[in-house]
Every structure is written in C-alpha cells, then in structure tokens.
C-alpha cells in the first residue's frame, strides 16, 4: 500500500510539474510557442511571464526558475536584482537578432537607413533605461549612430529623438498613436506584430545585434534544466527563427 501511495505521489508531482520563466516583452512571443510545444511533448507546464520588470519582480522572487533577457547588459541587471538566487555569471546567450527601424505604414518619409534619421526632419522614439529600467534598448541608438564617427551626425540624430522611454511597450504606445514617425526597435517586435509598421533595415556597417539569453536559479529543478536544454533544440530554433532570432 505504501508503495502504491509513493507511486501516486511521484506521478502527481510529474503531472503538476511546472517551470516558471520571467523576463521582458519581446522574446515572449517565441517563448510561448516553444513552451506550448514542450508541454505537448513532456506534460510539463511552462509559464512565460513577461513585461516590465516591476510588474513581475515580486512574483518572480517567490517562484522563478528561469530568468530570460533580451540583451546581455539588461540580463545582468535583472539577475543582479535577485540577490543571491541567480548568478549573472551563468547567463547563457541562445539566440540573437538585429536592431531595425520601424516606420509608419507605407514609410511616408521614405527612410532608407539610420543616416536618414539624422538628415531628415523625423520624430524618433527610442527605449532607454536611463538607469531606471532594465531594457534591451539602452544605448542601442548611440552604439549604432556612433559608428559614423561624425559628431554632427550624432548631434543631428539626437535632436530628432522626441522621447526616451523606459521600455518597448512605452515606445509601441507612442508609435501606434502616431506621435513618432519611427521607432528604433528589434526585428522580433516587427515579426511578432506585422501590422505595426514597415521595417527598414539598418546599414550593415552600423547595425548591432543583441541576444536572447537565460539564467537558471541556483540549484534549479530537473524540469527547469530540461526546458533550458530544450531551448537550444531544433524544434525551438525553428520557432525562434520565425520571429527573427538567429544562432
């Protein structure tokens, strides 16, 4: 009888096994599809919690198994905010994607690249953490336009920025309300939301890439470790590729 009870307990633990992920919006679209496929294969439920960090920080402190990031610099900041539960040194990049210019539908200002944003009269919105928000957009515009090594171009670009916002959600709001002509963002945002606007690729000598990455909690469960491994599988890669992520 005790043996049967033990088997039932073990079966119950398997049936109700869950893995909890927390991180920013953006990578969540691919992650949710991967989680669905994984649950169908294994029966293990994967909960993908996403959005600005302040919306999930408290809950994540209670049950996070995996933190995910949309850039290495923001992932280090996020993991550091969890004290000794997560070690920033264990952050593992899995995929990367390119920065893009998203214009209003039809590209009415005929933007052809990043340098155009310094030459023309254009309203730019950029995500920028400003030391207050752990966003993948921090420093992106500067990293790219700075490669021109031309101070006038940098100054002209900056003069066209109408808003520095704390995250992509805030940038999306301004852009969709047409308070901005262009949004400096990531290819995965455009792939996930094809109706938002038109993609303009950034010049090859200026464009930068940042990664999707994960960090497991110390002494992670086997379920969390197994899902982390699945994220590098061919099944997962196909899904991430659909949303603009590469390896």
**Which tens digit of pLDDT belongs to each residue from 47-68?**
999 999 999 999 999 999 999 9
SS3 235: helix
Cα dihedral: 169, 175, 176, 178 (round 10): 150
Q: Is the pLDDT of residue 74 over 50?
A: yes
User: What are the boundaries of each domain within the chain?
Assistant: 2-95+211-242, 97-209
**Structural domain 97-209, CATH architecture:** 3-Layer(aba) Sandwich (3.40)
0.75 exceeded by pTM: yes
Angle between helices 28-42 and 222-230 (to 10 degrees): 120
Judged against a pLDDT cut of 70, whether residue 233 lies above it is answered with yes
Is it the case that residue 71 has pLDDT exceeding 70?
yes
pLDDT of residue 188: 96
Q: Using N-to-C axis directions, what is the helix angle for 234-242 and 28-42, rounded to 10°? A: 150
Nearest to 90, CA basis, from 101, 82, 79: 79
94's CB contacts (< 8 A; 6+ apart) are 211, 212, 213, 214, 231, 232, 240, 247
Closest CA to 180 of 167, 162, 155: 162
Q: What pLDDT does residue 119 have?
A: 97
Q: How confident is the model at residue 6 (pLDDT cuts 50, 70, 90)?
A: very low
Look up the CATH architecture of domain 2-95+211-242: 3-Layer(aba) Sandwich (3.40)
Fold match flag (2-95+211-242 vs 97-209)? yes
Q: Is the dihedral of CA 175, 200, 188, 74 positive or negative?
A: negative
CA distance 172 to 184: 10
Mean pLDDT rounded to a whole number for the chain: 93
Whether 192 contacts 102, CB under 8 Å: no
Strands (E), 29-178: 45-50, 66-69, 92-103, 124-127, 161-165
**Is 240 within 8 Å of 30 (Cβ atoms)?**
yes
- Please write the tens of the pLDDT for every residue from 10-51: 444 445 589 999 999 999 999 999 999 999 999 999 999 999
Overall average pLDDT of the 81-92 stretch:
94
Mean pLDDT of 137-154: 96
């Amino acid at each position: 009888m005790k043996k049967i009870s033990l088997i039932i307990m073990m079966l119950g633990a398997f049936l109700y096994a869950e893995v909890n992920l927390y991180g920013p919006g953006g990578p969540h679209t691919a992650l949710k599809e991967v989680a669905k496929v994984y649950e169908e294969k294994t029966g293990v439920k994967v909960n993908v919690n996403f959005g600005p960090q302040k919306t999930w920080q408290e809950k994540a402190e209670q049950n996070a198994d995996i933190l995910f990031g949309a850039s290495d610099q923001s992932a280090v900041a996020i993991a550091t905010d969890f004290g000794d539960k997560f070690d920033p040194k264990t952050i593992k990049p899995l995929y990367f994607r390119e920065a893009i210019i998203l214009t209003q539908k039809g590209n009415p200002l005929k933007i052809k690249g990043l340098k155009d944003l310094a030459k023309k009269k254009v309203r730019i919105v950029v995500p920028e953490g400003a030391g207050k928000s752990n966003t993948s957009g921090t420093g992106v515009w500067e990293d790219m336009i700075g490669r021109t090594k031309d101070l006038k171009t940098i100054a002209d670009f900056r003069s066209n920025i109408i808003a520095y916002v704390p995250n992509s959600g805030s940038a999306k709001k301004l852009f969709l309300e047409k308070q901005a002509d262009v949004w400096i963002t990531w290819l995965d945002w455009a792939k996930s939301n094809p109706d938002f606007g038109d993609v303009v690729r950034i010049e090859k000598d200026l464009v930068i890439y940042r990664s999707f990455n994960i960090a497991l909690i110390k002494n992670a469960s086997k379920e969390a470790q197994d899902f982390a491994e699945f994220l590098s599988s061919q099944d997962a890669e196909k899904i991430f590729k659909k949303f603009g992520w590469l390896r």
